Structure 1
Amino acid sequence: MDRHIERFADLVVRAGVNVQPGQGVVVDTDTAHLEIARAVVEAAYAAGAAWVEPNWSDGPMQRSAVDHLTVGQLSASRPWALTRINEWRDAGVASIALTGDADPHLFDGADPARVAARRHEEIQARRRALFDGMRWCVVAAPNPGWARQIFGEPDTERLWAAVSTAMRLEADDPVAAWRDRSATLATRAQQLDKLELTEVRYTGDGTDLTVGLLPQTRWTGGGLVDRFGIDYLPNIPTEEVFTSPDRGRADGVIRVTRPMVILGQLVTGLRVTFEGGTIVEATADQGADVIRAQLATDEGALRLGEVSLVDRDSRIAKAGIVFHNTLYDENAGCHVAWGQSFPFAVAGGPAMTEQERADLGLNMSGIHTDVVIGGDGITVTGTGPQGTATIIRNDEWVL
C-alpha cells in the first residue's frame, strides 16, 4: 500500500473518529476514492471496528439525477434514510466522509437550482446525529480530478506532497502531531472564552465586517469530545478557532480571498454585503448564479452560522497553493460561513432543543458554506467587557 495512503487512513481512523473496539463505522465516499476508501476500511477494522459500511456516490450518476429530476424530486426526503440515520445515532456509530471533487466541472451547464437542491430533512437529521452522539471526521481524499483543478494536470504525486504537508503525514507520529496541534488550538479557544467577547470585527483588503456574538459564547479549537468522553477531530486538517455568532448581528462587506468550488462549480471574486445579519447582495467574477441559488435554499442560508480565526501559522497556508477544496482552503485564513450554526457554540447549547437554540439566536439552515476572507493584511479585533483586544494583526495571532 502507498505510504501516503496508509498514513492518511491511519490518521483518519485513530485521530479523526478515534474508532473504538466494537464500534460501527460508516464511510461516505465517491467511487473516485476507491483505493483510499479501502485503506480507511482496513484501518477501521484494524482498530477494532465491529462493522464498516461504505456509502458510495458517483459523479456521473449525480449529474444524471440533476439532468433528469425536478427540484422537488431532488429535495424530497426518504423515510428509510431518516430511520437509518437515527439508528446510527442511537448506536454511537462513527462517521467518516471522504470528499474531494473528482470532476470540478461536473455540473457545468446544469440548472443551478437543481444543482443546489438537497434533501434538507436528511441533511438536518444527519447533523443532529453528529451533534447528539456520533463522532465524525470529514477529510478530502486526493484524486486526479482534484489535482487537475489545482495544477492543470492530474499530478496526484504533487497533490499528495501538498496534502502531506497540510495533514502532517510526514511527522514521525502524525496522530501525536495532531494531538499537539489540537492542544494549541484549544488553548487559543480558552483565551477567547476568558474575554467574554460580544462582537468581532474583520478588516482587510475589501473586507470590513462586524459580527455580534451571543451571551456565554464558547469558542472551539482543535478537536471535540463526544458524550462518552472520547476525543476526536471533526476535520483534518484543522487550523481554526471558531464559534457561531448571533444570527441577527452582522454588518459590513467581505471579499472572499480564495477561489472555491461550490456545488461542483468554481466561484471566484466573491463579494458579499450584510445588513442586520442578512446577506443583501452577493456578486462574483465567476459562479454568482450558483451562490445565489444556494442562498435561496432557506431563510437561514442568508445568515451567518460561523465565524473563524486562522493565522499564517496554518499548515495549509504554508503549503503555498490554493487547494480548491473548502476543507483545506478554509484553514488557510480567517473565514466565515453562512448557514447552519453549531449547538456547542454556547454554554448549554447541546442540551437545548432546536427551538431553544433558535430563540437564543443560533442560525438554522440546510446549508453551511465557508468562505475565506483572511490572508495578508487581515486584522481581527474583539470587543467585550474588558474593552477591545487585537486577536490577529496582519495575519498573525497576537492575543
Structure 2
Amino acid sequence: MLSEIQLERYAEVLLWGLRIARSKPFKRGDVVLVRFNLDAVPLAQILERRLLEQGMNPVRRLHPTPEMEKNFFKLANRRQLVFDPPGEDTLYRHLNGSIFLHAPASITHLSGIDPKKISRFTLSKKYLRDILEEREQTGAFSWTLCMLPTNDLAQHARIPLDEYSQQIVKACFLNRRDPVAQWKSIFRKAAIIKKWLNGMDVKHYHIESEHIDLIVTPGEQRRWIGISGHNIPSFELFLSPDWRGTSGVYFADQPSYRSGNLVHQVRLTFKKGAAVSIDAESGGAFVQQQLSMDRGASRIGEFSLTDKRFSKIDRFMANTLFDENFGGQWGNCHIAMGSSYADTFDGDVQTLSGEKKTRLGFNTSALHWDLVNTEKKRVTAHLADGRHTTIYENGCFTY
C-alpha cells in the first residue's frame, strides 16, 4: 500500500490537477465534491484537511460497497433504479470541483447483473453529467480522479499487491520529493507536441498496426488536448473526431473490465462512422449490448495516443485509468466508443450548442468506453494539401 508521505504527495498532485483543469481560478467558499471508496478513506481525510485549509467547502460521498452495489442492481425496481435523492441536481449545479478516489474492493461483483439494467441506470444519470459539462464549459467547474491499490485490482492484474502499488507510485511520481514539478515538466512538453499537432491541416489520420487499419477524421474545428489535470495519471493526447469519418478495422489487444465484465481481443469494423461488425475473443455479447446502449454508443467519441517517453506504466492494471495510459515498449492508442469531449472543440466552448455539436460530428451517448491497443504502430496524418506525414511511430510522437 502507499505510505503516509506518498498519500500526502498524491493529494498534492490531485489538487494541482484540479486547479489546472479549470479555466478560472478557485476561490474561497467554492464547493468541491470528494467521492471515494472505503479503502480510500486515508487519502480522503488528507484531501479534506487540505481543502478546508484553502477555504473550500468539501462535500463527502462514500461510494457503495460491492455488496451494496450488487444488492441495488439485483433488487431495485424500475423506479428505484433511476431514483435520485432530492437536491441532487441542485448540488451538481453548484459544484466547482470534483475529485474521485477509486479504490474498488471488487471489480467483478456485477458480472451476473443484467447489462441492460446497468445501462438504464447509466442513462438516467446522463443529465447530471450534462450539468457538469455545461459548468466546465463556463470555467466554473473542473474534475480529477485517481486510483489506489487494492487486493482485488492486483489479483485481476495478476501481479503482487506491492508491485501493483509501485506501478501507481512511479506512474504518478510519488517517489519524487516534488511530484508536482515532474507533472509541470510533462505538461510543458505535452504543450509543445499539442501545438505541433494542432498546427496541421489534417484531412484524416491513418492508424496501422498488425491488427489495425483504421481511418479517423478529425473534422472541422478540432484540437488535440490532454495532460490537463483531468485524471492522475494521464499521459494521453487526444481529440474527439467527427464520428462520421471513421472507417476500417480497430482492434483492442488489451483486456478491459467494465461493469464487472471482462472483455478481451475486441475487433470493431466501422463503415460510415458506425461499428457494423463487433467481435471479441471473450465477452462479445456484453460488448454488443454496450454498443447498442443508445444511438451514439456504436460511434467513436475519442481517438488517443500515449507517448512512452511520458508514461512509466508497463503492466496491465485491470483499470482503464492506468491501462489507457500504458507506456510499455510501444506506447498505446485507444478509441473511446460513445460520448465525445466538448473541450476538443477549437473555439469558444460556450458557443458549442447541441445543434452545433451535431453539425460538426461530435458524438453524444451515455457510454464512454476506452478500448486500448498496445501493438507497434504507425499513425500518418494525411493533410488537406495532399501531403502526408508520420506523427506517431514506435510508441512516440515524431516531433
Q: With structure 1 as the length reference, what TM-score do the two structures score?
A: 0.89
Q: Which ranges of structure 2 fall in alignment gaps of 5 or more residues?
A: 21-25, 327-331
- Structure 2 equivalent of residue 281 of structure 1: 277
- Structure 1 equivalent of residue 319 of structure 2: 325
SS at the partner of 2:230?
coil
> How far is the alpha carbon of 1:334 from its aligned partner?
1.2
Aligned residues: 380
- One-letter amino acid of the structure 1 residue matched with residue 382 of structure 2: T
- Structure 2 equivalent of residue 335 of structure 1: 334
**Residues in 2 aligned to 1:264 and 1:216: alpha-carbon distance in whole angstroms:** 37
Query: Does the CA contact (< 8 Å) of 1:31 and 1:57 recur in 2?
Result: yes
- Structure 1 equivalent of residue 184 of structure 2: 179
- Structure 1 equivalent of residue 145 of structure 2: 138
> How far is the alpha carbon of 1:73 from its aligned partner?
4.4
Query: Does the CA contact (< 8 Å) of 1:77 and 1:121 recur in 2?
Result: no
With over 3 angstroms needed to count, the CA separation of the structure-2 counterparts of 1:320 and 1:348, relative to structure 1, is closer
**Residues in 2 aligned to 1:110 and 1:302: alpha-carbon distance in whole angstroms:** 22
With over 3 angstroms needed to count, the CA separation of the structure-2 counterparts of 1:21 and 1:159, relative to structure 1, is farther
Q: With structure 2 as the length reference, what TM-score do the two structures score?
A: 0.89
Query: Does the CA contact (< 8 Å) of 2:313 and 2:325 recur in 1?
Result: no
- Structure 2 equivalent of residue 15 of structure 1: 17
- One-letter amino acid of the structure 1 residue matched with residue 297 of structure 2: A
- Structure 2 equivalent of residue 227 of structure 1: none
- Structure 1 equivalent of residue 294 of structure 2: 298
With over 3 angstroms needed to count, the CA separation of the structure-2 counterparts of 1:71 and 1:210, relative to structure 1, is farther
Query: Does the CA contact (< 8 Å) of 2:241 and 2:302 recur in 1?
Result: yes
**Residues in 1 aligned to 2:103 and 2:68: alpha-carbon distance in whole angstroms:** 16
- Structure 2 equivalent of residue 360 of structure 1: 360
SS at the partner of 1:206?
coil
- One-letter amino acid of the structure 2 residue matched with residue 113 of structure 1: K
> How far is the alpha carbon of 1:20 from its aligned partner?
4.9
**Residues in 1 aligned to 2:106 and 2:167: alpha-carbon distance in whole angstroms:** 19
- Structure 2 equivalent of residue 213 of structure 1: 218
Q: Which moved more, 1:166-175 or 1:345-354?
A: 345-354
> How far is the alpha carbon of 1:314 from its aligned partner?
3.6
> How far is the alpha carbon of 1:246 from its aligned partner?
0.5
What does the per-residue CA deviation read over 1:147-204, in whole Å, with 9 as the maximum and x for residues that have no partner?
A: 2222365x2x322211011111122311111011011111111101111212111110
> How far is the alpha carbon of 1:74 from its aligned partner?
2.5
Query: Does the CA contact (< 8 Å) of 2:27 and 2:56 recur in 1?
Result: no
- Structure 2 equivalent of residue 229 of structure 1: none
**Residues in 2 aligned to 1:365 and 1:9: alpha-carbon distance in whole angstroms:** 32
**Equivalent of 1:266, from 262, 267, 274?**
262
What does the per-residue CA deviation read over 1:217-244, in whole Å, with 9 as the maximum and x for residues that have no partner?
A: 2111321xxxxxxxxx011111111111
- Structure 2 equivalent of residue 124 of structure 1: 130
What does the per-residue CA deviation read over 1:10-35, in whole Å, with 9 as the maximum and x for residues that have no partner?
A: 21123344665443211122223222
**Residues in 2 aligned to 1:72 and 1:372: alpha-carbon distance in whole angstroms:** 35
> How far is the alpha carbon of 1:396 from its aligned partner?
2.5
SS at the partner of 2:381?
strand
1:33-72 pair list within 5 angstroms: 33-46=40-53, 48-58=54-64, 59-70=66-77
What does the per-residue CA deviation read over 1:35-83, in whole Å, with 9 as the maximum and x for residues that have no partner?
A: 222222223233x032111112122211111111246642456663222
Instruction: Indicate the percent of aligned positions where both proteins have the same amino acid.
Output: 25
**Residues in 2 aligned to 1:345 and 1:247: alpha-carbon distance in whole angstroms:** 13
- One-letter amino acid of the structure 2 residue matched with residue 86 of structure 1: R
> How far is the alpha carbon of 1:252 from its aligned partner?
0.8
1:104-253 pair list within 5 angstroms: 104-117=107-120, 118=122, 119=124, 120-132=126-138, 133-151=140-158, 155=161, 157-223=162-228, 233-253=229-249
**Residues in 2 aligned to 1:290 and 1:42: alpha-carbon distance in whole angstroms:** 42
**Residues in 1 aligned to 2:104 and 2:262: alpha-carbon distance in whole angstroms:** 11
**Residues in 2 aligned to 1:354 and 1:100: alpha-carbon distance in whole angstroms:** 35
With over 3 angstroms needed to count, the CA separation of the structure-2 counterparts of 1:274 and 1:49, relative to structure 1, is farther
Q: Which moved more, 1:189-198 or 1:79-88?
A: 79-88
Q: Which ranges of structure 1 fall in alignment gaps of 5 or more residues?
A: 224-232
With over 3 angstroms needed to count, the CA separation of the structure-2 counterparts of 1:377 and 1:190, relative to structure 1, is same
CA RMSD of aligned residues (A): 2.1
Are 1:85 and 2:81 counterparts?
Answer: no
